[in-house]
A and B are shown apart, each in its own frame.
Chain A
Amino acid sequence: MDKLPLASLQQKLINYLVDDDPTATTTIMEQIKDHGSITRDVRLHIYKNAYQVRLKETIENDHEMLGFFLGDDLFDQMVLGYINAYPSDNTSLRYFADKLPLFLANNAPFKDHPIISELAHFERLLMVAFDAADATRFTRDLLANTPPEQWPDLVFRFHPSVQLAHFHYNSVETWQALKQEQSPEPAKEQHSDWLLWRNNDRLTQFRSLPEQEYNLITMILNGASFTALCDFLLEEVSEEQASQVALNYLLRWLDDGILIKQEFIQL
Protein backbone atom coordinates (compact mmCIF):
# COMPACT_ATOMS: atom_id res chain seq x y z
CA MET A 1 0.00 0.00 0.00
CA ASP A 2 1.20 3.51 -0.78
CA LYS A 3 2.29 5.59 2.16
CA LEU A 4 -0.33 8.06 3.18
CA PRO A 5 1.01 11.57 3.51
CA LEU A 6 0.80 12.84 7.06
CA ALA A 7 -1.45 15.80 6.22
CA SER A 8 -4.07 13.61 4.60
CA LEU A 9 -4.05 11.16 7.50
CA GLN A 10 -4.52 13.99 9.99
CA GLN A 11 -7.39 15.47 7.98
CA LYS A 12 -9.12 12.09 7.96
CA LEU A 13 -8.91 11.69 11.72
CA ILE A 14 -10.15 15.25 12.31
CA ASN A 15 -13.04 14.67 9.87
CA TYR A 16 -13.97 11.58 11.84
CA LEU A 17 -13.98 13.53 15.12
CA VAL A 18 -16.00 16.54 13.96
CA ASP A 19 -18.24 14.94 11.36
CA ASP A 20 -21.01 12.40 11.92
CA ASP A 21 -20.97 11.32 8.27
CA PRO A 22 -20.42 7.50 8.16
CA THR A 23 -18.00 7.85 5.24
CA ALA A 24 -15.67 9.82 7.54
CA THR A 25 -15.61 6.74 9.78
CA THR A 26 -14.89 4.26 6.97
CA THR A 27 -12.19 6.52 5.54
CA ILE A 28 -10.17 6.72 8.75
CA MET A 29 -10.89 3.09 9.64
CA GLU A 30 -8.89 2.01 6.59
CA GLN A 31 -5.79 3.61 8.07
CA ILE A 32 -6.03 1.95 11.47
CA LYS A 33 -4.29 -1.32 12.23
CA ASP A 34 -6.49 -4.15 13.47
CA HIS A 35 -4.71 -5.67 16.44
CA GLY A 36 -5.15 -6.83 20.01
CA SER A 37 -8.31 -7.61 21.89
CA ILE A 38 -10.42 -4.58 20.98
CA THR A 39 -11.83 -3.60 17.60
CA ARG A 40 -10.77 -0.59 15.54
CA ASP A 41 -14.25 0.76 16.03
CA VAL A 42 -13.87 0.75 19.84
CA ARG A 43 -10.40 2.28 19.55
CA LEU A 44 -11.57 5.14 17.36
CA HIS A 45 -14.65 5.73 19.43
CA ILE A 46 -12.50 6.47 22.49
CA TYR A 47 -11.26 9.55 20.63
CA LYS A 48 -14.67 10.59 19.35
CA ASN A 49 -16.22 10.28 22.78
CA ALA A 50 -13.38 12.23 24.41
CA TYR A 51 -13.77 15.01 21.82
CA GLN A 52 -17.49 15.40 22.44
CA VAL A 53 -17.30 15.10 26.24
CA ARG A 54 -14.49 17.64 26.49
CA LEU A 55 -16.35 20.27 24.50
CA LYS A 56 -19.61 19.60 26.32
CA GLU A 57 -17.90 19.98 29.71
CA THR A 58 -16.41 23.26 28.56
CA ILE A 59 -19.84 24.68 27.73
CA GLU A 60 -21.27 23.30 30.99
CA ASN A 61 -18.56 25.01 33.01
CA ASP A 62 -18.85 28.33 31.19
CA HIS A 63 -22.65 28.43 31.09
CA GLU A 64 -23.97 26.94 34.30
CA MET A 65 -27.07 29.17 34.64
CA LEU A 66 -27.92 28.80 30.96
CA GLY A 67 -27.81 25.06 31.61
CA PHE A 68 -30.31 25.35 34.47
CA PHE A 69 -32.52 27.58 32.33
CA LEU A 70 -32.62 25.19 29.38
CA GLY A 71 -32.80 21.87 31.22
CA ASP A 72 -30.87 18.77 30.18
CA ASP A 73 -32.59 17.95 26.87
CA LEU A 74 -32.43 21.42 25.33
CA PHE A 75 -28.91 21.90 26.68
CA ASP A 76 -27.74 18.69 24.99
CA GLN A 77 -29.43 19.77 21.77
CA MET A 78 -27.65 23.13 21.99
CA VAL A 79 -24.26 21.48 22.67
CA LEU A 80 -24.54 19.12 19.70
CA GLY A 81 -25.70 21.91 17.41
CA TYR A 82 -22.95 24.26 18.53
CA ILE A 83 -20.15 21.68 18.32
CA ASN A 84 -21.20 20.87 14.76
CA ALA A 85 -21.65 24.51 13.74
CA TYR A 86 -18.45 25.88 15.31
CA PRO A 87 -15.64 23.31 15.69
CA SER A 88 -12.89 24.77 17.87
CA ASP A 89 -10.31 26.84 16.00
CA ASN A 90 -8.48 28.08 19.10
CA THR A 91 -5.68 26.53 21.13
CA SER A 92 -7.54 27.32 24.36
CA LEU A 93 -10.93 25.95 25.39
CA ARG A 94 -11.41 29.28 27.17
CA TYR A 95 -12.61 30.73 23.86
CA PHE A 96 -14.41 27.68 22.44
CA ALA A 97 -17.93 28.89 23.28
CA ASP A 98 -17.36 32.55 22.35
CA LYS A 99 -19.81 32.22 19.47
CA LEU A 100 -22.52 30.54 21.56
CA PRO A 101 -24.66 33.74 21.91
CA LEU A 102 -24.49 34.13 18.12
CA PHE A 103 -25.46 30.50 17.59
CA LEU A 104 -28.42 30.80 19.98
CA ALA A 105 -29.63 34.01 18.34
CA ASN A 106 -29.72 32.42 14.90
CA ASN A 107 -30.78 28.82 15.33
CA ALA A 108 -34.17 27.29 16.16
CA PRO A 109 -35.58 26.57 18.62
CA PHE A 110 -33.35 28.90 20.62
CA LYS A 111 -33.74 31.97 18.42
CA ASP A 112 -37.47 32.03 19.16
CA HIS A 113 -36.61 32.93 22.76
CA PRO A 114 -34.07 35.78 22.59
CA ILE A 115 -33.51 35.70 26.36
CA ILE A 116 -31.54 32.45 25.82
CA SER A 117 -28.92 34.17 23.69
CA GLU A 118 -28.82 37.08 26.15
CA LEU A 119 -28.15 34.73 29.07
CA ALA A 120 -25.23 33.21 27.17
CA HIS A 121 -23.95 36.69 26.27
CA PHE A 122 -24.07 37.77 29.92
CA GLU A 123 -22.15 34.68 31.07
CA ARG A 124 -19.45 35.29 28.46
CA LEU A 125 -19.08 38.91 29.57
CA LEU A 126 -18.56 37.66 33.14
CA MET A 127 -15.71 35.49 31.85
CA VAL A 128 -14.12 38.44 30.08
CA ALA A 129 -14.28 40.49 33.28
CA PHE A 130 -12.79 37.57 35.22
CA ASP A 131 -9.52 37.31 33.31
CA ALA A 132 -9.11 40.72 31.66
CA ALA A 133 -5.76 42.46 32.15
CA ASP A 134 -4.81 43.92 35.52
CA ALA A 135 -4.23 47.64 36.00
CA THR A 136 -3.56 49.95 38.94
CA ARG A 137 -6.80 51.63 40.03
CA PHE A 138 -7.48 55.29 40.46
CA THR A 139 -8.36 55.81 44.13
CA ARG A 140 -9.80 58.44 46.46
CA ASP A 141 -6.25 59.10 47.71
CA LEU A 142 -4.92 59.69 44.23
CA LEU A 143 -7.84 62.00 43.53
CA ALA A 144 -7.13 63.93 46.74
CA ASN A 145 -3.56 64.41 45.57
CA THR A 146 -4.69 65.84 42.25
CA PRO A 147 -4.45 69.65 42.38
CA PRO A 148 -7.96 71.18 42.17
CA GLU A 149 -7.00 73.28 39.16
CA GLN A 150 -6.44 70.04 37.19
CA TRP A 151 -9.86 68.60 37.93
CA PRO A 152 -11.75 70.25 35.07
CA ASP A 153 -9.37 68.70 32.53
CA LEU A 154 -9.33 65.20 34.04
CA VAL A 155 -10.15 62.49 31.54
CA PHE A 156 -10.92 59.13 33.14
CA ARG A 157 -10.10 55.70 31.78
CA PHE A 158 -11.75 52.42 32.68
CA HIS A 159 -10.18 49.27 34.07
CA PRO A 160 -9.63 46.66 31.30
CA SER A 161 -12.29 44.43 32.88
CA VAL A 162 -15.06 47.04 32.56
CA GLN A 163 -17.83 46.26 30.10
CA LEU A 164 -21.14 47.84 29.20
CA ALA A 165 -24.01 45.60 28.17
CA HIS A 166 -27.51 46.29 26.95
CA PHE A 167 -30.25 43.70 27.34
CA HIS A 168 -33.69 43.67 25.75
CA TYR A 169 -35.14 41.12 28.16
CA ASN A 170 -35.03 40.45 31.91
CA SER A 171 -31.95 38.35 31.28
CA VAL A 172 -29.73 39.46 34.16
CA GLU A 173 -32.62 39.18 36.65
CA THR A 174 -33.24 35.66 35.32
CA TRP A 175 -29.56 34.79 35.73
CA GLN A 176 -29.60 36.14 39.30
CA ALA A 177 -32.71 34.10 40.22
CA LEU A 178 -31.12 30.92 38.83
CA LYS A 179 -27.90 31.65 40.69
CA GLN A 180 -29.89 31.87 43.92
CA GLU A 181 -31.62 28.60 43.03
CA GLN A 182 -34.97 30.33 42.61
CA SER A 183 -37.47 30.09 39.77
CA PRO A 184 -37.00 33.07 37.47
CA GLU A 185 -39.90 35.31 36.44
CA PRO A 186 -41.26 34.55 32.96
CA ALA A 187 -39.22 36.13 30.18
CA LYS A 188 -40.41 39.63 29.31
CA GLU A 189 -39.14 42.51 27.23
CA GLN A 190 -37.35 44.93 29.48
CA HIS A 191 -34.58 47.20 28.28
CA SER A 192 -31.70 47.75 30.68
CA ASP A 193 -28.03 48.70 30.74
CA TRP A 194 -25.46 46.94 32.88
CA LEU A 195 -21.92 47.52 34.01
CA LEU A 196 -19.67 44.49 34.59
CA TRP A 197 -16.14 44.58 35.99
CA ARG A 198 -13.63 42.88 38.29
CA ASN A 199 -13.46 44.69 41.60
CA ASN A 200 -10.59 45.54 43.97
CA ASP A 201 -10.84 42.06 45.53
CA ARG A 202 -10.54 40.51 42.04
CA LEU A 203 -14.16 39.38 42.16
CA THR A 204 -16.43 39.79 39.17
CA GLN A 205 -19.20 42.28 39.88
CA PHE A 206 -22.11 43.81 37.97
CA ARG A 207 -24.88 46.34 38.52
CA SER A 208 -27.59 47.97 36.46
CA LEU A 209 -26.99 51.48 35.21
CA PRO A 210 -29.59 54.25 35.47
CA GLU A 211 -29.91 56.26 32.25
CA GLN A 212 -28.02 59.26 33.62
CA GLU A 213 -25.01 57.20 34.72
CA TYR A 214 -25.08 55.23 31.48
CA ASN A 215 -24.84 58.49 29.56
CA LEU A 216 -21.92 59.70 31.68
CA ILE A 217 -20.03 56.43 31.22
CA THR A 218 -20.62 56.54 27.48
CA MET A 219 -19.26 60.09 27.44
CA ILE A 220 -16.12 58.96 29.30
CA LEU A 221 -15.67 56.16 26.76
CA ASN A 222 -15.74 58.86 24.10
CA GLY A 223 -13.02 60.87 25.84
CA ALA A 224 -15.10 63.52 27.66
CA SER A 225 -13.36 65.56 30.38
CA PHE A 226 -14.70 66.05 33.91
CA THR A 227 -15.91 69.51 32.82
CA ALA A 228 -17.89 67.96 29.97
CA LEU A 229 -19.51 65.53 32.42
CA CYS A 230 -20.45 68.44 34.70
CA ASP A 231 -21.86 70.38 31.72
CA PHE A 232 -24.00 67.39 30.83
CA LEU A 233 -25.31 67.19 34.42
CA LEU A 234 -26.17 70.90 34.36
CA GLU A 235 -28.84 70.02 31.80
CA GLU A 236 -30.19 67.33 34.10
CA VAL A 237 -30.08 68.86 37.60
CA SER A 238 -30.00 72.33 39.14
CA GLU A 239 -26.80 74.40 39.05
CA GLU A 240 -26.37 74.07 42.83
CA GLN A 241 -26.63 70.28 42.68
CA ALA A 242 -24.53 69.59 39.57
CA SER A 243 -21.05 69.57 41.08
CA GLN A 244 -22.14 67.46 44.05
CA VAL A 245 -23.88 64.94 41.78
CA ALA A 246 -20.76 64.74 39.59
CA LEU A 247 -18.55 64.21 42.64
CA ASN A 248 -20.85 61.48 43.98
CA TYR A 249 -20.63 59.59 40.69
CA LEU A 250 -16.87 59.95 40.65
CA LEU A 251 -16.50 58.68 44.23
CA ARG A 252 -18.74 55.71 43.48
CA TRP A 253 -16.64 54.79 40.44
CA LEU A 254 -13.48 55.04 42.51
CA ASP A 255 -14.94 52.83 45.23
CA ASP A 256 -16.18 50.33 42.64
CA GLY A 257 -12.64 50.20 41.26
CA ILE A 258 -13.63 50.81 37.64
CA LEU A 259 -11.21 53.68 36.94
CA ILE A 260 -7.48 53.26 36.50
CA LYS A 261 -4.52 55.34 37.52
CA GLN A 262 -3.04 56.97 34.45
CA GLU A 263 0.58 57.68 33.83
CA PHE A 264 1.20 61.01 32.24
CA ILE A 265 4.26 61.71 30.21
CA GLN A 266 5.74 64.96 31.43
CA LEU A 267 7.36 66.89 28.61
Chain B
Amino acid sequence: MVHNLIKNQASAREYSLSSAVEGIAPPDDFLGFGLGLRTDHFQDVLSTKPNIDWFEVVSENFMVDGGKPKHYLHAIRELYPMVMHGVSLSIGSTDPLNMQYLRKLKVLVNELQPQWISDHLCWTGVNQTNSHDLLPLPYNEEALNHVCDRVDQVQNFLGRPILLENLSSYITYKESEMSEWDFFNNVARRSGCNILLDINNIYVSARNHEFDPQDYLEGIDKDKVKQFHLAGHTDYGNYVIDTHDHPVADPVWALYKQALQRFGWVSTMIERDDNIPPLAELLAEVETARNIAYDTLGQLERVKQREIVT
Protein backbone atom coordinates (compact mmCIF):
# COMPACT_ATOMS: atom_id res chain seq x y z
CA MET B 1 0.00 0.00 0.00
CA VAL B 2 1.31 3.42 -0.88
CA HIS B 3 1.13 6.17 1.71
CA ASN B 4 1.11 9.73 0.53
CA LEU B 5 3.32 11.93 2.61
CA ILE B 6 1.07 14.62 4.01
CA LYS B 7 2.57 17.70 5.55
CA ASN B 8 1.27 18.59 8.96
CA GLN B 9 -0.90 21.62 9.46
CA ALA B 10 -0.63 23.20 12.90
CA SER B 11 -3.75 22.98 15.02
CA ALA B 12 -5.04 25.64 17.37
CA ARG B 13 -3.71 25.97 20.90
CA GLU B 14 -6.18 25.41 23.65
CA TYR B 15 -6.57 27.95 26.39
CA SER B 16 -8.18 27.83 29.79
CA LEU B 17 -8.50 30.32 32.61
CA SER B 18 -5.56 30.27 34.96
CA SER B 19 -6.44 28.28 38.09
CA ALA B 20 -6.09 31.42 40.19
CA VAL B 21 -8.72 33.30 38.22
CA GLU B 22 -12.46 33.13 38.38
CA GLY B 23 -14.38 33.99 35.30
CA ILE B 24 -15.74 32.66 32.05
CA ALA B 25 -13.50 30.23 30.19
CA PRO B 26 -12.87 30.88 26.50
CA PRO B 27 -15.09 29.05 24.02
CA ASP B 28 -13.71 25.99 22.17
CA ASP B 29 -13.16 27.92 18.95
CA PHE B 30 -11.12 30.67 20.65
CA LEU B 31 -7.81 30.94 18.78
CA GLY B 32 -6.08 33.47 21.02
CA PHE B 33 -4.19 36.48 19.68
CA GLY B 34 -3.00 36.67 16.09
CA LEU B 35 -1.73 38.83 13.28
CA GLY B 36 -2.50 39.47 9.61
CA LEU B 37 0.29 37.72 7.69
CA ARG B 38 2.02 39.99 5.16
CA THR B 39 4.59 39.05 2.50
CA ASP B 40 7.14 41.45 4.06
CA HIS B 41 7.27 39.17 7.11
CA PHE B 42 7.37 35.71 5.51
CA GLN B 43 11.07 35.14 6.05
CA ASP B 44 11.07 36.63 9.56
CA VAL B 45 8.19 34.40 10.61
CA LEU B 46 9.91 31.28 9.30
CA SER B 47 13.31 32.09 10.75
CA THR B 48 12.19 33.40 14.16
CA LYS B 49 8.98 31.35 14.64
CA PRO B 50 7.43 34.05 16.84
CA ASN B 51 5.32 33.10 19.81
CA ILE B 52 1.96 34.05 18.35
CA ASP B 53 -1.25 32.02 18.33
CA TRP B 54 -2.42 32.29 14.73
CA PHE B 55 -2.28 34.17 11.45
CA GLU B 56 -4.92 35.56 9.12
CA VAL B 57 -4.16 35.58 5.39
CA VAL B 58 -5.83 37.59 2.63
CA SER B 59 -7.34 34.94 0.37
CA GLU B 60 -6.96 36.85 -2.91
CA ASN B 61 -3.19 37.18 -2.44
CA PHE B 62 -2.84 33.43 -2.77
CA MET B 63 -5.31 32.72 -5.56
CA VAL B 64 -2.35 32.20 -7.87
CA ASP B 65 -1.08 28.95 -9.30
CA GLY B 66 2.28 28.74 -7.55
CA GLY B 67 5.60 30.43 -6.88
CA LYS B 68 7.39 31.84 -3.88
CA PRO B 69 4.52 33.41 -1.89
CA LYS B 70 2.56 30.17 -1.94
CA HIS B 71 5.64 28.21 -0.96
CA TYR B 72 6.14 30.41 2.10
CA LEU B 73 2.44 30.35 2.92
CA HIS B 74 2.40 26.55 3.13
CA ALA B 75 5.59 26.51 5.19
CA ILE B 76 4.04 28.95 7.68
CA ARG B 77 0.77 27.01 7.71
CA GLU B 78 2.70 24.00 8.99
CA LEU B 79 3.64 26.06 12.04
CA TYR B 80 0.52 28.11 12.83
CA PRO B 81 -3.27 27.90 12.69
CA MET B 82 -4.72 30.17 10.01
CA VAL B 83 -7.96 31.85 9.07
CA MET B 84 -8.74 33.17 5.58
CA HIS B 85 -9.98 36.69 5.00
CA GLY B 86 -11.34 37.75 1.62
CA VAL B 87 -12.10 41.13 0.05
CA SER B 88 -13.81 40.13 -3.22
CA LEU B 89 -16.86 38.08 -2.30
CA SER B 90 -19.03 41.16 -2.93
CA ILE B 91 -21.86 39.60 -0.98
CA GLY B 92 -24.08 42.67 -1.42
CA SER B 93 -23.61 43.15 -5.17
CA THR B 94 -26.58 42.80 -7.48
CA ASP B 95 -24.35 40.99 -9.99
CA PRO B 96 -24.68 37.21 -9.87
CA LEU B 97 -22.29 35.58 -7.40
CA ASN B 98 -18.88 35.13 -8.98
CA MET B 99 -18.64 31.34 -9.15
CA GLN B 100 -15.14 31.42 -10.60
CA TYR B 101 -14.01 33.34 -7.52
CA LEU B 102 -15.85 30.97 -5.19
CA ARG B 103 -14.27 27.94 -6.85
CA LYS B 104 -10.80 29.45 -6.37
CA LEU B 105 -11.68 30.23 -2.77
CA LYS B 106 -12.71 26.65 -2.19
CA VAL B 107 -9.46 25.33 -3.68
CA LEU B 108 -7.52 27.56 -1.29
CA VAL B 109 -9.69 26.42 1.62
CA ASN B 110 -8.79 22.83 0.79
CA GLU B 111 -5.10 23.71 0.65
CA LEU B 112 -4.94 25.72 3.86
CA GLN B 113 -7.65 24.11 6.00
CA PRO B 114 -8.39 27.39 7.79
CA GLN B 115 -10.28 27.59 11.08
CA TRP B 116 -12.77 29.82 9.29
CA ILE B 117 -13.31 32.04 6.24
CA SER B 118 -14.41 35.65 6.34
CA ASP B 119 -15.28 38.52 4.01
CA HIS B 120 -17.09 41.85 4.33
CA LEU B 121 -20.68 43.03 4.60
CA CYS B 122 -20.43 45.18 1.50
CA TRP B 123 -20.33 45.13 -2.27
CA THR B 124 -17.24 45.78 -4.39
CA GLY B 125 -18.57 46.17 -7.91
CA VAL B 126 -21.48 45.80 -10.28
CA ASN B 127 -22.02 45.11 -13.96
CA GLN B 128 -18.52 43.59 -14.34
CA THR B 129 -16.74 46.64 -12.96
CA ASN B 130 -14.76 46.15 -9.77
CA SER B 131 -13.99 49.13 -7.53
CA HIS B 132 -11.53 47.09 -5.43
CA ASP B 133 -13.06 48.91 -2.49
CA LEU B 134 -15.49 47.87 0.23
CA LEU B 135 -18.62 49.86 -0.62
CA PRO B 136 -21.50 50.19 1.86
CA LEU B 137 -25.02 48.91 1.28
CA PRO B 138 -28.21 50.80 2.01
CA TYR B 139 -29.57 49.33 5.22
CA ASN B 140 -33.13 48.37 4.28
CA GLU B 141 -35.31 45.28 3.76
CA GLU B 142 -34.47 44.92 0.07
CA ALA B 143 -30.73 44.76 0.77
CA LEU B 144 -31.26 42.54 3.81
CA ASN B 145 -33.18 39.94 1.79
CA HIS B 146 -30.66 40.14 -1.01
CA VAL B 147 -27.63 39.65 1.27
CA CYS B 148 -29.23 36.81 3.25
CA ASP B 149 -30.05 34.93 0.03
CA ARG B 150 -26.49 35.23 -1.14
CA VAL B 151 -24.91 34.30 2.19
CA ASP B 152 -27.05 31.19 2.04
CA GLN B 153 -25.77 30.36 -1.46
CA VAL B 154 -22.14 30.93 -0.44
CA GLN B 155 -22.44 28.85 2.71
CA ASN B 156 -24.06 26.04 0.75
CA PHE B 157 -21.28 26.16 -1.81
CA LEU B 158 -18.49 26.21 0.77
CA GLY B 159 -20.24 23.75 3.05
CA ARG B 160 -19.63 25.83 6.17
CA PRO B 161 -20.75 29.09 7.74
CA ILE B 162 -18.75 32.19 6.88
CA LEU B 163 -17.93 35.28 8.92
CA LEU B 164 -18.84 38.75 7.68
CA GLU B 165 -17.04 41.90 8.80
CA ASN B 166 -18.33 45.43 9.30
CA LEU B 167 -16.58 48.05 7.20
CA SER B 168 -15.56 51.65 7.69
CA SER B 169 -17.91 53.89 5.79
CA TYR B 170 -18.12 57.53 4.81
CA ILE B 171 -21.58 57.84 3.26
CA THR B 172 -25.14 57.09 4.36
CA TYR B 173 -27.78 56.44 1.71
CA LYS B 174 -31.15 58.13 1.94
CA GLU B 175 -32.63 54.66 1.35
CA SER B 176 -31.30 53.33 4.66
CA GLU B 177 -34.10 52.50 7.10
CA MET B 178 -32.18 50.97 9.98
CA SER B 179 -28.85 51.30 11.73
CA GLU B 180 -25.86 49.37 10.42
CA TRP B 181 -25.78 47.23 13.57
CA ASP B 182 -29.47 46.31 13.22
CA PHE B 183 -28.87 45.36 9.60
CA PHE B 184 -25.68 43.42 10.42
CA ASN B 185 -27.26 41.57 13.30
CA ASN B 186 -30.28 40.66 11.18
CA VAL B 187 -28.01 39.31 8.44
CA ALA B 188 -26.24 37.10 10.99
CA ARG B 189 -29.45 35.86 12.60
CA ARG B 190 -31.28 35.15 9.37
CA SER B 191 -28.46 33.71 7.26
CA GLY B 192 -26.64 31.82 10.01
CA CYS B 193 -23.33 33.50 9.28
CA ASN B 194 -21.06 34.66 12.09
CA ILE B 195 -19.57 38.06 12.75
CA LEU B 196 -16.07 39.43 12.48
CA LEU B 197 -16.21 42.70 14.36
CA ASP B 198 -13.62 45.25 13.31
CA ILE B 199 -13.28 47.50 16.35
CA ASN B 200 -11.40 50.17 14.41
CA ASN B 201 -14.08 50.24 11.72
CA ILE B 202 -16.77 50.78 14.35
CA TYR B 203 -14.74 53.69 15.71
CA VAL B 204 -14.12 55.18 12.24
CA SER B 205 -17.77 54.91 11.17
CA ALA B 206 -18.96 56.24 14.55
CA ARG B 207 -16.84 59.35 14.05
CA ASN B 208 -17.89 59.80 10.43
CA HIS B 209 -21.59 59.24 11.06
CA GLU B 210 -21.69 60.59 14.60
CA PHE B 211 -23.16 57.63 16.45
CA ASP B 212 -22.14 56.15 19.81
CA PRO B 213 -19.90 53.11 19.23
CA GLN B 214 -21.30 51.54 22.41
CA ASP B 215 -24.72 51.41 20.68
CA TYR B 216 -23.09 49.38 17.92
CA LEU B 217 -21.60 46.87 20.37
CA GLU B 218 -24.88 46.51 22.23
CA GLY B 219 -26.80 46.01 18.99
CA ILE B 220 -24.86 42.86 18.08
CA ASP B 221 -25.80 39.45 19.52
CA LYS B 222 -23.16 38.13 21.91
CA ASP B 223 -23.00 34.62 20.50
CA LYS B 224 -22.46 35.68 16.89
CA VAL B 225 -19.05 37.35 17.23
CA LYS B 226 -16.14 34.98 16.48
CA GLN B 227 -13.30 37.37 15.65
CA PHE B 228 -12.10 40.90 16.31
CA HIS B 229 -9.93 43.02 14.03
CA LEU B 230 -7.83 45.82 15.46
CA ALA B 231 -6.21 48.32 13.12
CA GLY B 232 -5.04 51.90 12.73
CA HIS B 233 -6.63 54.85 10.95
CA THR B 234 -5.85 58.40 9.89
CA ASP B 235 -7.63 61.18 11.76
CA TYR B 236 -8.36 64.30 9.67
CA GLY B 237 -10.10 66.15 12.49
CA ASN B 238 -13.70 66.27 11.30
CA TYR B 239 -13.53 62.85 9.67
CA VAL B 240 -11.47 59.67 9.94
CA ILE B 241 -10.22 57.36 7.18
CA ASP B 242 -9.64 53.68 7.70
CA THR B 243 -6.12 53.52 6.27
CA HIS B 244 -4.80 50.47 8.16
CA ASP B 245 -1.35 52.04 7.97
CA HIS B 246 -0.86 53.19 11.57
CA PRO B 247 -0.65 51.52 14.98
CA VAL B 248 -3.96 50.97 16.76
CA ALA B 249 -5.10 54.30 18.24
CA ASP B 250 -5.90 54.78 21.95
CA PRO B 251 -9.67 55.28 21.49
CA VAL B 252 -9.75 51.98 19.58
CA TRP B 253 -7.94 50.17 22.40
CA ALA B 254 -10.54 51.64 24.77
CA LEU B 255 -13.36 50.42 22.53
CA TYR B 256 -11.69 46.99 22.37
CA LYS B 257 -11.93 46.78 26.15
CA GLN B 258 -15.64 47.62 25.96
CA ALA B 259 -16.09 44.96 23.28
CA LEU B 260 -14.39 42.36 25.48
CA GLN B 261 -16.70 43.30 28.34
CA ARG B 262 -19.71 42.66 26.12
CA PHE B 263 -18.59 39.66 24.05
CA GLY B 264 -16.06 37.93 26.34
CA TRP B 265 -13.25 35.90 24.80
CA VAL B 266 -13.09 36.54 21.07
CA SER B 267 -10.12 35.63 18.83
CA THR B 268 -8.34 38.92 18.25
CA MET B 269 -5.80 40.07 15.71
CA ILE B 270 -3.87 43.10 14.50
CA GLU B 271 -4.51 43.99 10.86
CA ARG B 272 -1.93 46.19 9.13
CA ASP B 273 -2.24 46.60 5.37
CA ASP B 274 0.08 49.45 4.48
CA ASN B 275 3.21 51.16 5.77
CA ILE B 276 4.20 47.74 7.12
CA PRO B 277 6.62 48.03 10.09
CA PRO B 278 9.09 45.36 11.25
CA LEU B 279 7.44 42.18 12.53
CA ALA B 280 8.50 42.87 16.13
CA GLU B 281 6.47 46.08 16.17
CA LEU B 282 3.28 44.28 15.20
CA LEU B 283 3.96 41.43 17.61
CA ALA B 284 4.18 44.05 20.36
CA GLU B 285 0.72 45.29 19.38
CA VAL B 286 -0.58 41.72 19.56
CA GLU B 287 0.82 41.53 23.10
CA THR B 288 -0.92 44.79 23.97
CA ALA B 289 -4.21 43.25 22.84
CA ARG B 290 -3.49 40.12 24.88
CA ASN B 291 -2.73 42.18 27.98
CA ILE B 292 -5.91 44.24 27.64
CA ALA B 293 -7.93 41.03 27.29
CA TYR B 294 -6.24 39.45 30.33
CA ASP B 295 -6.81 42.61 32.37
CA THR B 296 -10.45 42.66 31.35
CA LEU B 297 -11.41 38.99 31.45
CA GLY B 298 -8.74 37.21 33.47
CA GLN B 299 -5.43 35.48 32.89
CA LEU B 300 -5.34 32.54 30.49
CA GLU B 301 -2.90 29.68 30.34
CA ARG B 302 -2.25 27.27 27.53
CA VAL B 303 -3.64 23.81 28.08
CA LYS B 304 -1.34 22.29 25.50
CA GLN B 305 1.39 23.45 23.21
CA ARG B 306 1.21 23.02 19.52
CA GLU B 307 1.81 19.44 18.66
CA ILE B 308 3.78 18.45 15.64
CA VAL B 309 3.07 14.82 14.90
CA THR B 310 5.54 13.20 12.58
Instruction: List the interface of chain A (C-beta within 8 A of B).
Output: 1, 3-7, 9-11, 13-14, 17-18, 31-33, 35-38, 40, 42-44, 46-47, 50-51, 54-55, 87-94, 96, 130-135, 160-161, 198, 202-203
Interface-central residue, B67, B101, B137, B172, by most chain A CB under 10 Å? B67
Contact check, A92 vs B239: say whether CB atoms are below 8 A apart: no
7 extra A-B contacts, CB within 8 A, seeds A35-B210, A43-B171, A160-B65: A4-B175, A31-B173, A31-B174, A50-B133, A91-B88, A92-B60, A131-B65
* A91 and B60 in contact, given A47-B170, A132-B67, A202-B67 (Cβ under 8 angstroms): yes
A residues in contact with B67, CB < 8 Å: 130-132, 134, 161, 198, 202
A residues in contact with B156, CB < 8 Å: none
B residues in contact with A131, CB < 8 Å: 64-67, 69-70
Instruction: List the interface of chain B (C-beta within 8 A of A).
Output: 60, 63-71, 88, 90, 92-94, 98, 101, 123-133, 135, 137-138, 140, 142-143, 146, 170-176, 208-210, 238-239, 241
* Bound complex: CA A94 to CA B61 (Å): 8
Beta-carbon nearest neighbor of A13 in chain B: B135
Contact check, B129 vs A33: say whether CB atoms are below 8 A apart: no
B residues in contact with A161, CB < 8 Å: 66-67
Pick the contact of B241: A10, A32, A46 (CB < 8 A). Answer: A46
A residues in contact with B170, CB < 8 Å: 43-44, 46-47
State the Cβ distance, A181 to closest chain B Cβ, in Å: 23
B residues in contact with A31, CB < 8 Å: 173-175
Contact check, A51 vs B132: say whether CB atoms are below 8 A apart: yes
State the Cβ distance, B77 to closest chain A Cβ, in Å: 15
Interface-central residue, A14, A94, A161, by most chain B CB under 10 Å? A14
Beta-carbon nearest neighbor of A36 in chain B: B210
Contact check, A51 vs B131: say whether CB atoms are below 8 A apart: yes
Contact check, A9 vs B175: say whether CB atoms are below 8 A apart: yes
Contact check, A32 vs B129: say whether CB atoms are below 8 A apart: no
Contact check, A32 vs B126: say whether CB atoms are below 8 A apart: no
A residues in contact with B239, CB < 8 Å: 37-38, 42-43, 46
A residues in contact with B138, CB < 8 Å: 4, 6, 9
